[in-house]
Amino acid sequence: MNRIDDGQPFPLGATWDGKGVNFALFSEHATAVELCLFEGTGEREITRIKLPARTDNVWHVYVEGLTAGQLYGYRVHGPYDPARGHRFNPHKLLIDPYARLLSGKLRWHDAMWGYRIGSQRADLTMDRRDSARMMPKCVVEDPSHHWGDDRPPRRPWNETIFYEAHVKGLTQLHPDVPQAMRGSYAALGHPKVIDHLLKLGITAIELMPIHSFVDDRFLVEKGLKNYWGYSTLGYFAPEPRYLGEAGVAGFKGAIRALHDAGIEVILDVVYNHTCEGNHLGPTLSFRGIDNAVYYKLPPESPRHSWDSTGTGNTLDVSHPRVLQMVMDSLRHWVENYHIDGFRFDLAPTLARDPYEFDPRSGFLQACGQDPLLSRVKLIAEPWDVGGGGYRVGNFPAGWSEWNDQYRDTVRAFWRGDDAQLPALGRVIAGSRETYEPTGRHPWATVNFIASHDGFTINDLVSYNDRHNEANGEDNNDGHSHNLSWNCGVEGPTDDPEINELRARQKRNFLATLMFSQGVPMLLMGDEQSRTQNGNNNAYAQDNDTNWFDWRKTAEADPDLFAFTQAAINLRQSHDAFRRRTFLTGAQVPGSILRDSYWLVPEGREMTPGDWSNGLRRTIGFQFGNDAADGQRFLLMMNAWHEEVDFKLADMLPGEVWVQIFDTNIPDGLVRGEQPITLRAGETFKLAPRSLVLFQHATIPGAH
């Protein structure tokens, strides 16, 4: 028999010291906690230990002789009183919220619910069946890992280019990744994967959720899986399905390899809700440990769940112990996995203290003062589905935000919608009006055209409507407001004119993204025209709908990678595209020029009347007049379906502009011994639905 003593209340979780393991679990309302130890397969419980000590509502015990790899779980005793928000049920094996690793798969069964499913009294009747056999088990982790001289790249915000990717989706079909490695964390570090990112110019890969999560029961019963992963079970454990043969070491090795290449690793994290659903959901962890603490409950009806996430429950980050768990989790990933930053799903929910969004919430203040987290990249998805949940521009200094206003405006402009110029001018100049009032910089806006949630760029120009039938929800799921345009035919076509237009529209989107102020984010595969066949909510498609087919996509639009590469290279080579301060239109000190100009094709600056003219679909943007490297640029954008004669305004006598980039060219680059030059007063024929970039040049003989 292993020697047992009280142990310590800190750190929470299971901590192996080489001689034994300290277990510590927080529960404010429990009356007793039992530690269950399992044999190596996780099928048989071998020991049950009642935790002997309780300090500040942390239950703890030390068990001598246990080693790393030991499987365990908890049973927590207390009142089963849903009307008061308490759902303790010791018949249910529970996952430790601080578990660093999980073993085994969750196998859905009615016994995983704390109440008797089908009872006339619903969740008011306790279910007494044991759920242990169907539950994954927690693993005592050996945290040792030799990182060598790994250093975070610490890429400046204004030099950052994000690439949103899925661990499996990115690597499952890569022809150069060994079959046994595909779909795993280790594959992220394969030289060919990293080489692709480097050639493209990516500086940070943003991984969709890798915290351990579950395949929701309703999906499993339809033969589907939760591919995206926004259904968290544990905030400290990497999702086991991606571990592969190399395990945790493979993930850490991949992070090290990405760092060696100068690429940061960002995690998409889901601290707003868990996989346990509403008050009728299963009891897997938090609900059985202390439902009234971990979840927000309506004060007038604590039996039910308060929901600002659309998933049935909301984690109560306003509670000090829940906030501690979130902060401990974030630090865990930075300290033990060398993660470089986080994108927070439905971030306003984390700042609801307790029910309304507060920019001075405990969570936001904790992140701002934490000596570790305040130095990594923090990105908010600045909306949730609760009242007052749309909070674009409301996060504090130190935070960047996904900017859906950028996405929607650029989509609408290139679709040819009326009255888009005022919004377009704001977003491509960095959304100053949105972010400057909170003391932030242009990199506060993370600009994107497409993300995992919605159409890919290829589908954005190929479909007017969503095609989500494969999700099994009668095509009722996903967004209906896509601001997409199929260019004349729904889905694939052999019409060469339509395909040429679609190709140019994709180039327009990508060029606009890379030439805008702010931080660009590219969706995995958009550089090679990846399609999801019109599915704009492919959360349950763990198949070739989501997987990046490297060979097929390269054939679909063979020049698009080179085009994207060229646009990124231009961005990274010139200060004008990567400003540290907002454009204001003010005069540049020591110059007769202002920092930027907005131009109309008639050969003059835009007037208030031009901005308010909803029929205008052509605009010029001249910027870079105060750039440190002295490089100035002129961007012309025409969303009209006809050619436009664009006359250059006389901003500086004798100046000459050279055309360097054009979305009418498959790879974007303007070549030739005699490039097109443009002087003040001269006219450039701007092709229909196209974008052209000119660079200022000094040409001998110019006046």
Catalytic sites, residue numbers: 345, 381
Q: Tell the residue number behind the tokens 């019963």, with chain if given.
A: 221
Question: For the chain, what's the residue count?
Answer: 703
Which residues have a Cβ under 8 Å from the Cβ of 35 and sit 6 or more positions away? 23, 48, 49, 50, 51, 61, 63, 72, 74
Report how far residue 241's alpha carbon sits from residue 228's, in angstroms, rounded to the nearest whole number. 13
- Sequence letter at residue 228: W
Residues β-bridged to residue 27:
none
Report how far residue 12's alpha carbon sits from residue 426's, in angstroms, rounded to the nearest whole number. 47
Residues β-bridged to residue 448:
521
**DSSP secondary structure string for all residues of 286-345:** HHHHHHHHHB---TT-TTS---SSSSS--B-TTSHHHHHHHHHHHHHHHHHH---EEEET
Give the C-alpha distances (Å, rounded to integers) separating 50 from 44, 74, 166, 403. 18, 10, 41, 50
Closest CA to 157 of 369, 390, 332, 397: 397
DSSP state of 588: P
108, exposed or middle or buried, with CB in 10 Å at 0-12, 13-18, 19+?
Answer: middle
Alpha-carbon radius of gyration of the chain: 28
Report how far residue 531's alpha carbon sits from residue 523's, in angstroms, rounded to the nearest whole number. 11
Closest CA to 565 of 161, 155, 157: 161
Q: Tell the residue number behind the tokens 């991984």, with chain if given.
A: 207
On whether the CB atoms of residues 593 and 605 are closer than 8 A, the answer is: no
Report how far residue 466's alpha carbon sits from residue 554's, in angstroms, rounded to the nearest whole number. 24
Tokens of 196: 């692709």
On whether the CB atoms of residues 288 and 114 are closer than 8 A, the answer is: yes
Report how far residue 140's alpha carbon sits from residue 75's, in angstroms, rounded to the nearest whole number. 17
Backbone angles phi, psi at 273, to 5 degrees: -155, 175
Tokens of 620: 């010029």
C-alpha dihedral, 113 to 119 to 122 to 126, nearest 10°: -50
Backbone angles phi, psi at 72, to 5 degrees: -155, 170
On whether the CB atoms of residues 394 and 440 are closer than 8 A, the answer is: no
C-alpha dihedral, 309 to 313 to 315 to 316, nearest 10°: 100
Three-state secondary structure call for residue 163: strand
554-557, long-range: CB < 8 A, 24+ apart: 554/528, 556/458, 556/528, 556/529, 556/531, 557/458, 557/503, 557/506, 557/528, 557/529
Start-to-end Cα distance in the chain: 94
417, exposed or middle or buried, with CB in 10 Å at 0-12, 13-18, 19+?
Answer: middle
Report how far residue 323's alpha carbon sits from residue 350's, in angstroms, rounded to the nearest whole number. 9
